Every structure is written in C-alpha cells, then in structure tokens.
Structure 1
Amino acid sequence: MASRPQVDTHRTEDRYARGWHCLGLASGYKDGKPHSLNIFGTRLVAFAGEDGQIHVLDAWCPHMGADLALGEVKGNSIVCRFHAWSWGADGVCNDIPCAKRIPPKARTRSWQTCEQNHLLFIWNDPEGLPPPPAVAIPRINACFAGEWTEWAVRKMVIHNNCRELVDNLADVAHFGPVHGSPASYFCNTFVGHVGYQMFRGIQSELLGDGLIADSAYFGPAYHITRMTAEVDGQPVHTILLNCHVPIDQNSFELRYGVMVKKVAGLSDAQNEQIAQAYVEQAHKSFFQDVEIWHNKVRIDHPVLSEVDGPIYQLREWYRQFYTDAADLPADLHKAKVFERREGVWHTLSEVPADAVSQLSSI
C-alpha cells in the first residue's frame, strides 16, 4: 500500500487534540460492566460505579499489565482479573488481597469525564491541564423535551486521520457533487474554540427541499447541526450529532446521531415511523462522506479556486487544539467571518445578525 502523506506540515503525529471528545450515549456504559476503549493511541476502561458516575482509567494495570476491562466493577472501583488489585475512580489502588500495605506508587491515570445531552464525554489534554469553564459542552434543550425523539446513534471506524472530516466545516464545494445539495448561501465563523457553519440550500436529493442547516464544532471533536427541510410538503426538524475520537493517527471512531422533532397531532407510532425514515435518509447522506474519507489522502497545501471555502482559515483555527495553551494566538476570541453570497466570497468584520440568532439555538 502506498504511504500516506503527512497529516500536517506541523508535527502532530504523536499528539491528540486538546478538548472534549464524545464517547456516545452515556446509558450504554451504565450496565455494571467495564467497557474497553481503544482511543488516543492507548487502551482505557470505562465503568459506572455505584455512585452513578461513569469513570475512565488507563486500562493497563500498573501491577503486571493486565487489561482492567477484563475485570469486575465493585462499588466505585474496578478489580483486576489477574491478581484482584482494586482501583478506585481516582486511579488509586485501594485494596490488594492479603497485602499489609499498598505501595505509594500504586496508581494509574484517571480521565475526566462529563455527561451532557445524554452523551458521555472524555477530556484529553496532552499537557494534563483541566478543561476551562469556557469550553463546557452546551446543553441542547431538545434532548430533555418530549417533543423530540431520542438519539439514534451509529458508530463506525474511519481509516484516516480525523482532520479529514473537520475540513467539511468549510468545504462548501462538496455539497453539490457529493450530496446533491448545492448551497445558495454559506457562511463560516471561527471564534474561540467554536467553528460555525451556516448553510442554505434550495434542494437536497436525500434530505428534502429548502434545506436550512446551522451547525458548530464545539472544540475539536463534537459537532452539532440543527436542520430543517421540507419532505412531501411536511417540514421536518432534526438535530444531527457528528463526533469523533482518534484511535491512532490513521483511524478514528465516528459516531453519528439523529433526533427528529415529533409532528403534532400524530401518534407516537406514526412519529416514530417518520423519524426512522428520516434517520435512514440522513444516514445515507452522511455515508456519502464516509466513502470519500475512506478513500482520500491529506493534501497539506491544496490548490483552491474562487468557489472553494476558507479551507486554510479553518485549518489555522483548528490548529489551536494541537498547540500548547501558552502558545495559543492572542486573537482567538476575535470572530473571523467568511460569507458566500451569490457565488462570491466576502470577509466580514463582524458576525451577521441572523447568524447570531440562528446559532444560539443549536
């Protein structure tokens, strides 16, 4: 197999992005069993303790190297299957059978987690710093309202570097050829740790007519879209989840989810039928991208035309997640806006007023 070009001209091959990464539905980890996670170039173990919290530790037992994911959950600890050493949620060994003392060095790494929108998140920082409050995962009110269906989530492995899918945030030119959904209006805004996209389309081959999609990356790996389209004369409102966690530098776990707003006046069964049909259409649209990601290489310096989006500006914004906190640019908080109207790109000095109102509802 031909070798893959470098992911970036800046050396990041041994580094994973700083930020919150989504591990899927939190409920999937609350079965009293340990769950193995092969991410960030290593193996972790996730388990829910009797306190109801989900804890994540390095999986390789510091004692003799066994995989803690083969062990047993007891209380808020996980017990190694090899020698029954018990490891607490804080990563500290709290029991060794028949031992009179626990070695002071008997500890392993505990990873910070949080739950939001019925999803589980894990914090990664190569420097070991905690998450600042400003990067907290925003609440989606629809997740807690009866007017919406629950998340329908699918997981797959993509054999490429995760930066390939992030380019889509600015790649307006691919919507027509790949999705049959050319953009009539498009706008990117990069500010702080958030990258926004506003998309307006006249029609979509799979998702309906009058497509309106407002989306954002909150950090390096968690992407939410609020979308509206008309299908068979009926407006359909959806929220899409697109999140990734790197396995290594050449593969990542991708989770894709859909929520659909229920139609007033219809029964639960009818709404579920509509939702499942639209979920299938959304997945088909998403898999059009997956096929491309599986069959492409990184071009560090792409040759762009006047119809392409702000790819270079997106990559410059995204580089912050691979940069030490002390070396971050001083102007990250200043919004950088790139708008495409009537086929012409404009660089704006401030975020359009309609963008602010739309994006605040994501």
Structure 2
Amino acid sequence: MSTATEARSLDQGVAPSRYARGWHCLGLAETFRDGKPHAINAFDGKLVVWQDSKGELNVLDGYCRHMGGDLTQGEVKGDDIACPFHDWRWGGDGKCKAIPYARRVPLRAKTLRYETAIVNDQLFIWMDPEGSAADRSILPIQLPGLAEGEYADWSWNITEIEGSNCRELIDNVADMAHFYYVHFSFPTSFRNVFEGHMATQFMESTGRPDKAEGYSSAGSDLFLKSEATYYGPSYMINWLWVDYKGFKTEVILVNTHIATSPNSFTLQYGITVKKPEGMDDATVAFIAEKYTKMFGEGFLQDVHIWKNKVAVQNPLLCEEDGPVYQLRRWYEQFYVDKADVVPEMTERFEFEVDTTKANEFWHAEVAENLAKRAAEEAEAGRPVHH
C-alpha cells in the first residue's frame, strides 16, 4: 500500500498572470462589418471592434478613458466610436477626435489601440504586454486558393471554456495517444517539429471500426493524413487530407483561442473544404457539411476533456507520450519578455513517436470489442455488422 510520501504529487501550479505575446484571432472579419460596435472579451477586459467608412476594422480597449463608459454599447459615428456615457468620439488610431460639448480635446486623450491584420478572412490583433510594435513577419500564412474561391465558405463555431488555462489546448500538439481514446482513431505515424514561432504535428491515422463518433464516424474506411501547425501562441491551421473509400478530399480546420482570464478562454474553430474540380456547388456544399459535422464532432471531444480536466504542471509521462515538456518550453517564449527568450525555446526540435507497441495493443482491443459486439448481436437475434 503506497503512502502519501511515496505517491507522486499532482502539481496544478498557478496560471500565468500575463497574456501571450503575438497575433490573436478575433473571428471572421465579415462578422464585424455591419456598422455596429462589437464586444470581444479578452485579456481580463473587453475590446471594441468596428468598421470605419474606408472599410478598415479598428480595435480599441472597450472602456472610455473619460469616465469608463462601455464603448461596445456606444454607436459608430462617422469613422469613430462614440461613448454612450458622454459621447466622446474615439478614432481607430486610439485618439479622441471630438467631445461635442467641449471647446477642445485634452492633449493626453488617447486610449489603447491594437494593430490589426486580416488573414484567411479572419481578423487578427497584435498583443504584447511590453507594448512592442506588431511583428507582421510572424503572421499566420495566407492559405493558397482561399481568396480565389477554391474552398467552400467557412463553417465557424465559438465556445467558452471556463476553469482552464489556454495552454491545455497546446499540449494536444504532442499527445499521440489521445487520438485513440478521445477521437477513436489509430495514429500509425506521429511526429513533431518545433522551430521559431511554429510548432507542428504530423500524423497519419485510420478510423476505429468499433466506434462511430467524431473523426472515426467513417470507421476503418477512413484514412487521414494530418499536418497541424501553430503559428504563434493561439492560432493553428490543420490541413487534413481525407481518403474515404478512394474518394479524396482536402479539409482545413482552424483552431484559435483568446484568453479571457488566466483560467478561461474563448475557443473558435472554423472548417472549410476544398472544392473538387468539376463538382457543382450543391454537391460541394453537401460534402462540406458532412466533413464539417465529422471534424466538428471530433473537435468537441477535445472540448469536453478541456472543460473537465485539471492543469498538471508535472505530468508523469511514458515514452509514447511525446515531447510534452519540450513543447511547453517552446510555448514559454510567448509568456516572457522578448529579451528573456532563450535559444532552447526557439531552436529546431524534432521527435517521432514509435507507435508500434500502442497499435499492437489497440488493434487487439478493437478486435476484442468487435467480437464481443458480434456475440451480443447474435445472442439477441440481430444481424451482425462490421
């Protein structure tokens, strides 16, 4: 019988008090282009987003520097956002442009402005606790063919995660085994590469024939090749090449989050499908809907885990668990001052998991599950399905 001193402790740690330096996605740009102010909860506060007469999207801190009015409840007047409390007008450059009842605007009337960018039809802001200028060289890549209409429209989803720090998402990059237990698939090949501001997971897998949920809803007839890259601390592009009974489709899943507090975040994910050449729009839309449902359900399996687990700063790992600690060291670069980023956070690191032993056990377990199901169906007089 183990004693308290022999048992390994579970260190839940303390969530970081600062927020990640880098580009953060606020959602599809079109959702902010209706002439109204929009509220985004972020970084222990609120942001206001609106479009000006030139079509530019502007992002400021959500509270007026005059007397704290909520700018997201104000009104867009001309190019400016007007506070609902005293009608102070704030421009996209962060400066107060007018106070209708005053002779002049105070020289120091300036609020916090976020630099913006639009990539892949999505609005990004630059955030740095040190206040550095935006580094546009590390923006996520623009997906080739997206602007040219080669992909279906984005299917976009938003969910709030309470009680977890956003690092819980990042750990998945190095987590091979959860694909079997959470997503019901066999990872036959799994490799990580971390370098600079990017962390990539390469994986090949097939569906589990004993399950019909999420990624495995197509069963063993599904072969999946996946390449998922985080561009900075909070935005991942996941290319998914799907082969279902010889029908090949390219799917792109975007997973992005923005911290709302040290222990909560807003999670957004979008899915699009490349249009097969020569296929009519109705059929493309049907295929896109099917894959959106399949991969959306798979992603929600992760969400369920995140909403219910606890943080572990000292995970107890086995050989097949992948480079979790190295991944966390890579991620740390976004939470320290720029001057404190050390080479081991950004130098190229590669690791390939040997999936042999895992697949031996998993295939045996699946065979046992199928045999048990067949026996139960035969005993009940039902037809046996495989």
Same fold per superposition (TM over 0.5): yes
Contact 2:26 2:40 in 1 (8 A): no
Change (3 A) 1:339 1:243: same
Q: Which segment drifts farther, 281-290 or 333-342?
A: 333-342
Deviation (angstroms), 1:109: 0.7
Corresponding residue of 2:3? none
Q: For 2:246 and 2:140, how far apart are their aligned partners in 1?
A: 35
Helix, strand or coil for the counterpart of 1:111? coil
Q: For 1:342 and 1:7, how far apart are their aligned partners in 2?
A: 29
Contact 2:240 2:250 in 1 (8 A): yes
| Bigger helix share | 2
Corresponding residue of 2:206? 202
Corresponding residue of 2:48? 45
Q: For 1:135 and 1:174, how far apart are their aligned partners in 2?
A: 30
Contact 1:143 1:150 in 2 (8 A): no
Corresponding residue of 1:290? 303
Which TM-score applies when normalising by structure 2? 0.84
Corresponding residue of 2:173? 169
Structure 2 residue aligned with 1:248, among 243, 254, 261? 261
Corresponding residue of 2:97? 94
Change (3 A) 1:6 1:127: farther
- Residue 229 in 1 paired to residue 267 in 2? no
Aligned length: 339
Q: For 2:96 and 2:136, how far apart are their aligned partners in 1?
A: 30
Structure 1 residue aligned with 2:229, among 185, 197, 216? 216
1:84-233 to structure 2, matched below 5 A, reads: 84-159=87-162, 160-203=164-207, 205-206=216-217, 209-233=222-246
Deviations 1:257-305 (A, max 9, x none): 1110122333211110111011011111111111100000001001111
Q: For 1:344 and 1:163, how far apart are their aligned partners in 2?
A: 29
Helix, strand or coil for the counterpart of 2:146? helix
Segments of structure 1 that go 5 or more residues without pairing to the other structure are: 346-362
Change (3 A) 1:7 1:81: farther
Q: For 2:305 and 2:355, how far apart are their aligned partners in 1?
A: 27
Structure 2 residue aligned with 1:313, among 326, 336, 349? 326
Deviations 1:204-233 (A, max 9, x none): 513662210011000000000111112243
- Residue 274 in 1 paired to residue 287 in 2? yes
Contact 2:187 2:355 in 1 (8 A): no
Structure 2 residue aligned with 1:75, among 64, 78, 95? 78
1:5-20 to structure 2, matched below 5 A, reads: 8=13, 13-20=16-23
Helix, strand or coil for the counterpart of 1:313? helix
Structure 2 residue aligned with 1:33, among 20, 36, 51? 36
Deviation (angstroms), 1:331: 4.6
Percent of residue pairs identical: 42
Q: For 1:151 and 1:142, how far apart are their aligned partners in 2?
A: 14
Contact 1:7 1:13 in 2 (8 A): no
Contact 1:206 1:285 in 2 (8 A): no
